[in-house]
Structure 1
Amino acid sequence: MTFPIRADSPATFAGPLPRAADVVVIGGGVIGVMTAWFLARRGVKVVLCEKGRIAGEQSSRNWGWVRKQGRDPAELPIMIEALTIWDGLTAEAEADLGFRRTGILYAAKRPEDVARYEAWLVHARAHGLDTKLLSRAEVEAHLPNAAGWVGGLLTPSDARAERWIAVPRLADAAARKGVAIAEDCAVRALDMAGGRVAGVVTERGRIAADRVVLAGGAWSSLLLARHGARIPQLSVRATVAATAPLPEFYSGAASDSTFAMRRRADGGYTLAPGHFHEFFIGPDAFRHLKPFWPHIRAELSGTRLLPAAPRFYPDGWFTPRHWAEDQVTPFERMRVLDPAPNRAEVERLRDRFDHAFPALGRPAIAAAWAGMIDTMPDVVPVIDHVAALPGLTLATGMSGHGFGIGPGVGRVVADLVAGRAVGHDLTRFRLSRFTDGSKIEPGPSL
C-alpha cells in the first residue's frame, strides 16, 4: 500500500530552476498541476513551484472521490467537464491513475435526509445528470443494509481515483509536456514592479513572469496577506483511515451522515467521518468568525474547535505574517502540512463500519492520516484575478471538493490566465463577493 506523500518522501522534481517564464504556478496540488498542464498544452512556458512535495498535502489526503453528486450548483458545469477530462487523462498521461466510474451513493438514515436528496435532484435534472433517488430496497440492492438506511441518492456515472498516485503521475506527464516543476522551492513573495506582478521570489532565486497563479491550498491566504490582500480562508483538519484488504462488497463510494467509504485499487476501503470537522483556533479564525459563523452554526454538532493552531500552521498563533524576501518563511519551515489524525475518530470509524456491515466485522486499519482542507465561508472556491495585485490569478478554497474537479478547474484557470473565454459562469467564485456586500452563505449542496 502507498501512503500519503510526506515531507521525507524523495523529491521527484529537482532540476534547475528557470529564471524566466510566461507563467509561474504556486502550488503542486491537483489545481496547480492541472493549470500548468493546460497552459503547457497551449504552448505557454510554465514553471510550477512547490514548497514541499507534489500532492503532499490535501491532494493526496482526500477521499479520492470524483463526484458531481451533491455539489453546489455553480460547480456542476465545471465538474461535468472535469469528469470528461478524467475520462481521457489515463491515455494522455500514459499512466494508470486508478480512475474508475463506479458510482457514488449517499445513504439516508432519516426521512429528512431523503427530503434533502430529493430537493437537490432539481439541480441534477437541470444539468442532465443520471442521479436518482433510491428506496430502502434499492439501497439494499447496492449495499448490505444492517445500518437501517431508509433511502439514498445515487449517481452511477460518478467515479473514484487513487489520489496519491494520480496527481504525481499527472505531474510527470505535465513535465513531459514542458512544465518546469521545482519541489523544495517555496515562493517567499511576489515580485512586484510598477504596481503589478513581475514574477516571484523563491528560496532559490527570482523567476521573472508577468503572470502568476496562486493555487497554494491552505497556504494561499498567508502569502496573500503578506502583500496586503486578505481572504476569509480557514483550514479544517480532516481524518482519514485506510483498511487492510477486504472482500469487495461495493466497488464505488458511499456515505451517510456518520461515515464515508471508498473501494481502493489495493483491495481495501478508505474510511472517513461523514460530517465531522476540526478547526484549530488561530488569529484568522477570530478575524473571520463572522462570515464563517452561519456555516459553523449549521454544522455545530459535527464541528470540534481545537484550542490553538500549532506553530507554523497557516493560522498558527506564532506563525509569522510578515517576512523579508531573504528570510526563511513559514512555507519552508513546514514543507508538508502533515497533521496527526484524530485516533479516537479512527476507532469510531471502525465501530461504524462494523455496525453497517457486521458480516465483515471491525476492520483492521493499515494506515491513518489527516489533511488540512482549505475552506471558504460559502464552501465554494475563489477562481478569479486579484485586482489589488495585477497579474495574479487566484485558485484556492476548494473546500474539500478539489480533487475531483481539479482537471476542470485547471482548464478554466489556464484560460483565465491566458485571457481566453473560460466557457463557464464564474460569478459565484469571484473574489469581490467578500467585499461587495454580497450575502455569504453555502449553496444547496449535500
Structure 2
Amino acid sequence: MATSGVPRSADVVIVGGGVVGCATAFFAGRAGLSTVLLEKRPALATLTTPVSSGAFRLQFDNPEEIALVRESVALFDELQDRGHDLELRRQGYLFVATTQDGAAAQAELVARQREWGLDDVELMSGEEARRRFPYLAEGLCGARFRQRDGWLNPRRLSQALAAESAATVLLDREVVGLERQGDRVTGVRLADGVVSAGWVVIAAGPLSAGLAIKAGIDLPIQLVRRHKLVVPDAPQVPGRAPMTIEYETGAHWRPALRGAYGLWTAPAPAEGAREDLPASAEFGFGLLDPRSDHALARVAPFWKEVWETPGLQWWLQAGYYDYTPDRRPLLGPTPVPGLALNTGYSGHGIMGSGGGSRRVIDAITGRIEPRDNPLRPDRPMLERRFDVL
C-alpha cells in the first residue's frame, strides 16, 4: 500500500519501484518479511519498465535463464488466475534465419535447449515457416518457434505484484545515503527520515550502480541505450503474429495497439545513467526504411507497405539495458553485509523478474546457500557466445 509517512524500520527495504523491485516486494511478503518499497518517482514502474516490449520467452542459450523465466511465467499465470488482467498473450516467439549459417546455429541451439528440458521449440525449414506464417519473405533458410512464449503489459504486471505484496510503498522518495554500523548496511537515508532494515535490496535497474557505489561496490554493469519504435496504427500488421526476429540482425517486432512495436539490439557504446533518455530518430528510420541493412521488411515484406503509408505516424521511446559481462543478472547478497542485489538483467528484466526475485529473497533468508545460486553477484563472469537477443 502506498503511504506518505516514513516507517522507522522493516525487515527489508527495496530500492526501486520498477517490475523487479515490485517482484522483490511480492516474494518478501510471501516469506513473511515486513517490507518497504521505495520509488524516487511519483508512480511505480515509470522509468525503464514501460519502455520494454513486455515480452517473455524460454528460448534462451543457457539453462539458468530458462529456469528463471519458466518460474516467472508461472507467476504471471498465477496473477492472472487471481484476477489481475496482465494483457497476457501467448502468440509465440519466431526466430527466422536468412542465411544457412544462421539456420545451422539455430538448429544447434534447439538441440541444446532440448537437452536442458525445453522440448517444445519447433525447428522449421524456411518453406515450412512461410507456410505457417504467410507474412514472411521468400527465401528464408530456417526458423525456430515456441508457441508458449509471448508478452504482457509490464506496468500492469508491476502494479499487480505491488498490490499482492503487502509492502509499504513510498513514492517520491530518493535514497540519499546508506546507513552503516561498521561494515554492515543497516538501512537507507531519505530526505525526510531513515528506514532501518535487516537487508537493503538494490533493484533500481539502470540506477543500481549509482546506489551500490555508496557502499563501495563497483557493479560490473554497462548501460546501453535501447529504443522501442511504436507504430500505433498499421492495418498491414497481422494481429495474431508472433514476436518475429531476424536472427542475423536482431531486428524484431510484435503486434501492439493497432500496429506494432519494433526493436533492435545493435552493438552500442556504454553510457552514464540518465533518467530522461533522449531517443534518436535514426533508430526508427533504420527499422522502417526498406533500404536499411536491418529493416523489418527484410523478413516481413508488409513493412515496406507500412513505410509507404501516407501520413504514417510513429514515435520512439528510449531506455537502458543494464548489461553484465555474461548477460545474466546479479542476484543475492553482496560482500557488504546487509546489502543485496536484484539487478543486471541485461534486457530480460520483465521475463526474469519473478524467478530472479524469489531467488534473492531465498538467498537473504538462508533458504539457498551461495553455492546453490549460479547467479550470485560474486560469481566468475565467464566469457561466452550470446544469442541474438
TM over 0.5: yes
Q: How far is 1:390 from its partner?
A: 0.3
Q: Which residue of 1 aligns with 2:70?
A: 80
**Percentage of pairs with the same residue:** 28
With over 3 angstroms needed to count, the CA separation of the structure-2 counterparts of 1:207 and 1:348, relative to structure 1, is: same
Q: How far is 1:91 from its partner?
A: 2.7
Q: Which residue of 2 aligns with 1:167?
A: 158
CA distance in 2, matches of 1:370, 1:443: 26
With over 3 angstroms needed to count, the CA separation of the structure-2 counterparts of 1:354 and 1:108, relative to structure 1, is: closer
The structure 1 residue matched to 2:320, chosen from 372, 389, 393, is: 372
RMSD: 2.3
Gaps of 5+ in 1: 1-11, 281-308, 315-333
Q: How far is 1:339 from its partner?
A: 1.1
Kept in 1, the 8 Å contact 2:15–2:37? The answer is yes
Q: Tell me which amino acid in the other structure corresponds to 2:316.
A: A
CA distance in 2, matches of 1:145, 1:219: 39
The structure 2 residue matched to 1:411, chosen from 358, 376, 382, is: 358
CA distance in 2, matches of 1:365, 1:139: 30
Q: Which residue of 1 aligns with 2:340?
A: 393
Q: How far is 1:232 from its partner?
A: 1.7
Gaps of 5+ in 2: 290-294
CA distance in 1, matches of 2:250, 2:378: 35
Identify which range, 202-211 or 364-373, moves more after superposition: 364-373
Q: Which residue of 2 aligns with 1:432?
A: 378
Q: How far is 1:346 from its partner?
A: 0.4
Q: Tell me which amino acid in the other structure corresponds to 2:137.
A: A
Q: How far is 1:82 from its partner?
A: 1.4
Q: Which residue of 2 aligns with 1:22?
A: 11
Q: Tell me which amino acid in the other structure corresponds to 2:64.
A: A
Kept in 2, the 8 Å contact 1:26–1:49? The answer is yes
Q: Tell me which amino acid in the other structure corresponds to 1:185.
A: R
The structure 1 residue matched to 2:207, chosen from 207, 219, 229, is: 219
Q: Which residue of 1 aligns with 2:92?
A: 103
CA distance in 2, matches of 1:354, 1:113: 18
Q: Which residue of 2 aligns with 1:4?
A: none
CA distance in 2, matches of 1:17, 1:128: 46
State how 1:347-362 maps to structure 2 within 5 Å: 347-351=285-289, 352-355=295-298, 356-358=300-302, 360-362=305-307
CA distance in 2, matches of 1:258, 1:47: 39
The structure 2 residue matched to 1:441, chosen from 371, 377, 383, is: 383
Alignment partner of 1:201 is 2:189: yes
Q: Tell me which amino acid in the other structure corresponds to 1:413.
A: V
Kept in 2, the 8 Å contact 1:239–1:369? The answer is yes
Q: How far is 1:71 from its partner?
A: 4.0
Q: How far is 1:159 from its partner?
A: 1.7
Q: Tell me which amino acid in the other structure corresponds to 2:296.
A: F
CA distance in 1, matches of 2:342, 2:267: 23
CA distance in 1, matches of 2:369, 2:87: 28
CA distance in 1, matches of 2:378, 2:149: 32
Q: TM-score, normalised by structure 2?
A: 0.88
CA distance in 2, matches of 1:17, 1:148: 62
Q: Secondary structure at the match of 2:258?
A: coil
Q: How far is 1:115 from its partner?
A: 1.4
Q: How far is 1:143 from its partner?
A: 4.3
